[in-house]
């Protein structure tokens, strides 16, 4: 599903090159729920940008759903982002002036899906995250947890190959955070491939597998021994 | 994203910043208003004056002496007989008459008035049929002219000035030491754009007028061709005949009303262009305002651009979104500007006594111009937006 091999990336700061990723290799199978952890500066955000096709590696290969994306042009990358990747951001990144419905419709507009189908699918996606009755609300009229659920609906609406979540609970209170994790786990149960970046261990433990970054390399990659399960009500169930 | 949706997105963007958008539009409005007002007035005024000039003799032409020639001049270089012969022999000429204008003092029982007196032949009256109407009595005829009768035809208003309530027909007016009998009065449609002071006109037979001169002369010939295509041949035939008759090669010049109209059009056309360019400068300033605001808008919406890119918007999607936005601002500004411009033009036309006018050309040009300005000045900001790096755009606070 997702196969990264020997990924390197460095940034120029003045005259010197600052290496951020020093050769990352990672294989994520379809339907996996992977958490990426690491302190700030470990390169996990840069890695996320690579996975999200927002940036290109200097060297290395990146296969996503059968496509070698590291050599694609801007235009093709935009298409991959649109079709294969669903983003969930820490700061929600909803269009402030638009309704939930319009926000969820947006990726389908760039996919040139007809208006009627777009509407149906957007409503469907909002139902899936339990916000059907709030589809005409604007982001300012929604709570943080609700905003993030709109963002999840938006991320899923084009049926992407992977869901990339970058600190999705970072701006939420713990209860809303757990609700979001419950949603991820539910989606995972439905077969969605999820990659979650976080620096909080108790969030990461909701995933099946934790990959830990440090100084631009992966230092640990292991299955979660004590997995946490979040109830939709916002309570954590330890197994 | 299809065009309609890009259009909707752009309209939402404009609507979200109503105040700013309308201020930006103001620059375009002022620019288009001035361009439209200038071109409409220019074109409309030109048309009105041309129509007027045509009414006063579309096929007319003048024959006069070339004073710059080295050939010797004499008082009989042009004669009354020349005109009479030319009218008979030239197929292209309908009428051609001698024309001696002068300013004289005329005295009636009531008053003395300054008069623009024209000495000519009877053929002149049919040439004036579109503008001059006999109101009492008659015009003079060929016999009056041949016999050098001291008769005069007065403008009706002049008759009223000189004679008051008395019917001037059959009465006498004094002109210097001479006494003339009034045989008719006429009314004439004045040339609408003649800014000269009110003055009255009168006609006398040219042979009578010449009988008063010590050295009789004819100042110029005024002719009318049978139709528009005959103007050139008519002038050629007149010049050829005169050259042969007087044995003077380089002595006669001809000029048609058409040429004067063309020259006038050239001058006013140039003026209109000059003023349009000046007005156009304000349009460019308006365009710079659009660019300025679009740049602010792009910066402000950096994050939105980042979101759209992350969700799959291509560069072209972003470019088109912002370009449509600036074009819409300019087009709305253009529309309002056209309305204002036409309003101002008709207001000026109303006070300047010009007919109401609407120049579709300038309306079309104004719309083409405002879209062009929208594209030209919108392109740089839109391109800036399209080129934004999605990662940095998403990080932008």
State how far the Cα of A183 lies from the Cα of A161, in Å rounded to an integer.
17
CA A162 to chain centre: 7
This prediction's pTM = 0.74
**Are A83 and B312 an interchain contact pair (Cβ–Cβ within 8 Å)?**
yes
Q: How far is A83 from chain B (nearest CA, A)?
A: 8
Q: Which of B18, B311, B388 is the mutation pick for testing A, counting most A CBs within 10 A? A: B311
What percent of chain B is predicted at pLDDT more than 90?
54
Closest CA to A231 of A179, A169, A189, A175: A179
> Across chain B, which distance is largest between two alpha carbons, in Å?
105
ipTM over the 0.95 cut-off: no
Flag if A93 and B16 touch (Cβ within 8 Å). no
Q: Where are the domains of chain A?
A: 2-238
Lowest mean pLDDT among A17-21, B74-78, B151-155, B196-200: B196-200
Residue B164 DSSP label? T
Q: How far is CA B125 from the centre of its chain?
A: 27
The residues of chain A scoring below 70 in pLDDT are 238-239
Determine, for residues B314 and A110 on separate chains, whether the beta-carbon distance falls below 8 Å.
Answer: yes
Q: Which of B92, B98, B86, B106 is nearest to B155 (CA)?
A: B106
Residue in chain B lying closest to A80 (CA): B312
Interchain CB distance below 8 Å, A54 and B310: yes
DSSP symbol at B166: S
Using alpha carbons, select from A54, A86, A48, A83 the residue that is nearest to residue A67: A83
pLDDT (mean) for B242-254: 89
- Contact present, A154 and A104 (Cβ < 8 Å): yes
- DSSP H helices, B128-256, are 142-146, 156-163, 206-211, 231-246
Nearest alpha carbon to residue A53 among A71, A36, A41: A71
The domain at A2-238 falls in which architecture? 3-Layer(aba) Sandwich (3.40)
Check residue A238 and give its pLDDT: 63
* Tokens coding A24: 């990352």
Supply the pLDDT for residue B283.
Answer: 87
Contacting residues of A for B319, CB less than 8 Å apart: none
The verdict on a CB contact (< 8 Å) between A81 and B315 is no
What is the rounded distance in angstroms from the CA atom of residue B342 to the CA atom of residue A107? Answer: 45
Q: Tell me the domain boundaries of chain B.
A: 3-53+262-395, 67-248
Question: CA angle A80-A81-A87, nearest 5°?
Answer: 150
Q: Given this model, what pLDDT does residue B4 score?
A: 80
For B385, other C-beta atoms within 10 Å of its C-beta total 27
Q: Does A52 touch chain B (CB under 8 A)?
A: yes
């Amino acid at each position: 599903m997702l196969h990264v091999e020997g990924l390197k990336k460095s940034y120029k700061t003045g005259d010197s090159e600052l290496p951020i990723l020093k050769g990352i290799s990672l294989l994520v199978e379809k339907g996996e729920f992977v958490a990426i952890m690491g302190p700030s500066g470990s390169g996990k955000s840069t890695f996320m940008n690579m996975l999200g096709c927002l940036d290109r590696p200097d060297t290395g290969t990146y296969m996503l759903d059968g496509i070698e994306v590291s050599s694609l042009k801007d235009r093709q990358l935009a298409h991959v982002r649109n079709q294969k990747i669903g983003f969930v951001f820490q700061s929600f990144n909803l269009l402030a002036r638009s309704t939930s419905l319009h926000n969820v419709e947006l990726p389908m507009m760039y996919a040139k899906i007809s208006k009627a189908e777009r509407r149906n699918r957007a409503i469907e996606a909002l139902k899936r995250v339990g916000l059907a009755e709030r589809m005409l609300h604007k982001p300012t009229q929604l709570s943080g947890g609700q905003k993030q659920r709109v963002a999840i609906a938006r991320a899923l609406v084009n049926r992407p190959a992977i869901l990339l979540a970058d600190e999705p609970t970072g701006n939420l209170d713990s209860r809303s955070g757990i609700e979001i994790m419950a949603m991820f786990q539910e989606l995972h149960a439905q077969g969605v491939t999820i990659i979650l970046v976080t620096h909080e261990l108790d969030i990461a433990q909701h995933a099946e597998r934790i990959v830990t970054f440090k100084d631009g390399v992966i230092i640990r990659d292991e299955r979660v021994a004590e997995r946490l399960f979040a109830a939709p009500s916002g309570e954590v169930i330890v197994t | 994203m299809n065009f309609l949706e890009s259009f909707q997105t752009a309209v939402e963007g404009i609507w979200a910043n109503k105040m700013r958008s309308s201020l930006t539009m103001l620059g375009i409005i002022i620019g288009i208003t001035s361009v439209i007002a200038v071109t409409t007035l220019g074109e409309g005024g030109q048309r009105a004056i041309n129509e007027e000039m045509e009414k006063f003799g579309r096929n007319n032409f003048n024959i006069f002496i070339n004073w710059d020639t080295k050939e010797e001049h004499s008082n009989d270089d042009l004669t009354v007989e020349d005109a009479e012969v030319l009218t008979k022999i030239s197929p292209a000429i309908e009428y051609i008459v001698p024309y001696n204008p002068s300013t004289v003092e005329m005295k009636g029982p009531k008053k003395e008035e300054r008069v623009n007196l024209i000495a000519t032949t009877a053929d002149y009256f049919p040439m004036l049929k579109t503008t001059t109407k006999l109101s009492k009595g008659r015009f003079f005829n060929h016999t009056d002219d041949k016999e050098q009768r001291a008769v005069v035809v007065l403008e009706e208003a002049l008759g009223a000035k000189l004679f008051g309530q008395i019917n001037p027909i059959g009465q006498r007016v004094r002109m210097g030491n001479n006494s003339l009998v009034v045989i008719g009065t006429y009314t004439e449609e004045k040339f609408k754009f003649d800014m000269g002071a009110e003055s009255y006109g009168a006609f006398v037979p040219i042979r009578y007028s010449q009988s008063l001169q010590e050295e009789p002369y004819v100042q110029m010939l005024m002719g009318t061709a049978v139709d528009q295509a005959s103007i050139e041949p008519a002038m050629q035939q007149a010049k050829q005949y005169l050259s042969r008759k007087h044995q003077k090669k380089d002595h006669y010049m001809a000029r048609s009303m058409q040429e004067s109209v063309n020259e006038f059009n050239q001058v006013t056309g140039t003026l209109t262009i000059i003023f349009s360019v000046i007005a156009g400068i304000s349009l460019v300033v308006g365009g710079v305002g659009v660019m300025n605001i679009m740049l602010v808008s792009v910066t402000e919406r950096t994050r939105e651009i980042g979101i759209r890119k992350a969700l799959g918007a291509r560069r072209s999607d972003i470019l088109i979104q912002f370009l449509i936005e600036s074009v819409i601002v300019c087009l709305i500004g253009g529309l309002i500007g056209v309305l204002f411009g036409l309003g101002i033009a008709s207001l000026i036309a109303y006070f300047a006594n010009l007919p109401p006018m609407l120049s579709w050309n300038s309306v079309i040009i104004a719309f083409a111009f405002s879209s062009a300005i929208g594209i030209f000045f919108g392109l740089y900001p839109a391109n800036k937006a399209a080129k934004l790096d999605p990662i940095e755009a998403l990080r932008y606070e």
